[in-house]
Amino acid sequence: MSTRAKEREFRQELQEARNLHYFDGFERLWNVLVRLGLEEPGSNEGERAAALRARLSERRVREILANPAVDRLLNLDPPLETVLIHPQERLRTSEARCAIEQVQRFRGAEPLQALNALCRLLLFIRNKRAHGFKTPDGSRDQEILKPAAEILGVVADACLDAHFQADQGNLGTSGMTPSEG
């Protein structure tokens, strides 16, 4: 498949994810990023995701961090990972608090570090959702998942742009990457 066809496929899936209810859209957006990350170097999902985010320009990272949904997530009351909803749930209170503090502390001086901390929070949310601790109707879950899905969408947009812009630098006159030619 050509690079342009892959890009169209990813962008279509991203749009389809945005058209879903935030609860389902969040998971689809996550899957878009995971699949895009498969094309990055790294031995595991976390390393590939970090490589994908490292492609982002500082300007784009700052735009993500300036999205109002970030503050809605960081300023939840009570804070993220402090409310136990099921006896089987394991709270990650100290890790979440640390990630929130890192986003706040590094937002201005080290934006990529802040984005990486924000993505750790999104991972916590994704894992809770995937393991049944988030529902589409819970008011607290809505407070968490709505901004999380919005953030994930802008991160996915930025990563898609960065990934395919970098790939366009590898295109020859045929529109194919050297490995496809």
**Separation between Cα atoms, residue 71 and residue 159, nearest integer Å:** 21
Whether the model clears a pTM of 0.95, i.e. scores above it, the answer is: no
Going by C-alpha positions, the residue among 34, 15, 10 that lies closest to residue 25 is: 15
Question: Could you identify the residue written with the tokens 């994908």?
Answer: 52
Looking at residue 1, what is its pLDDT?
84
Confidence of residue 167 (pLDDT cuts 50, 70, 90): low
Average pLDDT over residues 63-83: 97
What proportion of the chain, given as a percentage, has pLDDT over 70? 92
Confidence of residue 175 (pLDDT cuts 50, 70, 90): very low
Task: Give the DSSP letter of residue 87.
Answer: T
Does residue 147 contact residue 69 with C-beta atoms inside 8 Å? yes
Confidence of residue 104 (pLDDT cuts 50, 70, 90): very high
The overall average pLDDT reported for the chain is 91
Average pLDDT over residues 77-92: 93
Does residue 125 contact residue 148 with C-beta atoms inside 8 Å? yes
Average pLDDT over residues 88-111: 97
At 66, list the tokens.
Answer: 């300036």
Going by C-alpha positions, the residue among 26, 29, 45 that lies closest to residue 37 is: 45
Average pLDDT over residues 112-121: 98
Does residue 76 contact residue 143 with C-beta atoms inside 8 Å? yes
The answer, yes or no, to whether the previous bond of 78 is cis (omega within 30 of 0) is: yes
What proportion of the chain, given as a percentage, has pLDDT over 90? 87
pLDDT of residue 169 exceeding 70, the answer is no
